[in-house]
Amino acid sequence: MWTTALDRLLTHLMRTGDFSLTYPDGSTRRCGDGRGPSVAVRLTDPALPRKIVLNPELAVGEAYMDGTLSIDDDDLYGFLSLAIGNSRDHGQPWFRRPLDALRHAGRYVQQFNPISRARQNVAHHYDLSGELYDLFLDDDRQYSCAYFARPDMTLEQAQAAKKHHIAAKLRIEPGMRVLDIGCGWGGMGLTLARDYGADVTGVTLSQEQHALANARAEKTGLSDRARFLLRDYRHVTGKFDRIVSVGMFEHVGVPHYGAYFSKVHDLLTDDGVALIHTIGRARPPGSTSPFIAKYIFPGGYVPALSEVMRALEPHALWTLDIEVWRLHYAETLKHWHDRFMANADKAAALYDDRFVRMWRYYLVACELMFRLNYQVVFQLQLSPRQDTVPLTRDYLYPASQTDWHVQAAE
């Protein structure tokens, strides 16, 4: 029964490409139009056909982690490219649509993130060993999309360009009070304090990030201008000239969007500016991959712009600018993957081989979602007033500094 159901699923999905699947009993199913490189997958666990039919995204990822699903030549890029591209073009067969509808209906429960749950979700990912992140991030530990202002940039240059691009949108001036919501390991806040003279307060729920960010501030002599608090953004008080939030909105959860934007409004001065940088989907609202929700970012969600704007509109904040970054995150993730795999032995020593396969699956799947399945990055520039920044983007690209982003990154 389950082998037949999986055959039907494959026949529906894998219409392009050259794909073959060998079942635990040794039989092989071939799908696609035969074009392109061949991708051959083997299953060794008899329970996998049932698991894949019921929840393909989770079951396939888990099987790859466990080694019960193997790919000839370990061609994970080829396999996921076929799977993601075909799924994008053909969708789910009729017998899977009710299950997907139930998953979509339950997304509000999955994304319900009160403070106690938000803290647990953050700890699941960001309180992993700091040594792990040293294996694949840049020296500043920027764990968000880099900005490749020039195609040949190194990861370090592109991450620096990202920070300076955001600083330009914020129109930072010396002495400005800046709140960094979801400050990570402090890289953005320290840059704004060091290079722009800002007075920065960063907040995070990660104990590891909190400790390292403050240690970095102390080491670089910036602790009088950059302090980092172990605090939920909902508990922040006071007024700030600028608010920056990079890669944190994905953890807010749709049920909390209204409260988030209300808080941003309340914390900004009347002429303040906020810059919200988030992964987004260039399609209608959806739900989080079960694999990502279980193993990588519990409580996380990549929003559609429509649901962000619906939540933002009631809160007396002008949308001054929306910029869409397309393939920048795909390139960032490719750098991370290559660095991680070059250090796979060290990662296995920190955890184990199963963790290495899990992390590789996460990095490759995310990269290909940006390349093949309408995933982007949104930057929203917000303010209580409509005239707090110039009326065109010319100020970001001064004619006298045509290579501004490149120079700032070097």
What are the CA-CA distances from residue 392 to residues 319, 380, 387, 398 (Å)?
Answer: 13, 15, 11, 12
Q: Match 């004619």 to its residue by tokens.
A: 399
**Distance between CA atoms of residues 37 and 47, nearest Å:** 28
Determine which one of 31, 145, 183, 366 is catalytic: 366
Q: Match 């053909």 to its residue by tokens.
A: 90
**Distance between CA atoms of residues 258 and 234, nearest Å:** 12
Report yes or no: 207 and 231 within 8 Å, Cβ to Cβ.
no
What tokens appear for 76 in the block? Answer: 């994970």
For residue 212, give the 3-state DSSP assignment.
helix
> Which residue type is seen at 61?
G
Give alpha helix (H) positions in 313-372: 328-342, 344-350, 353-372
Is 366 in the active site?
Answer: yes
Q: Is 156 exposed, middle or buried (0-12, 13-18, 19+ CB in 10 A)?
A: middle
Catalytic site positions = 366
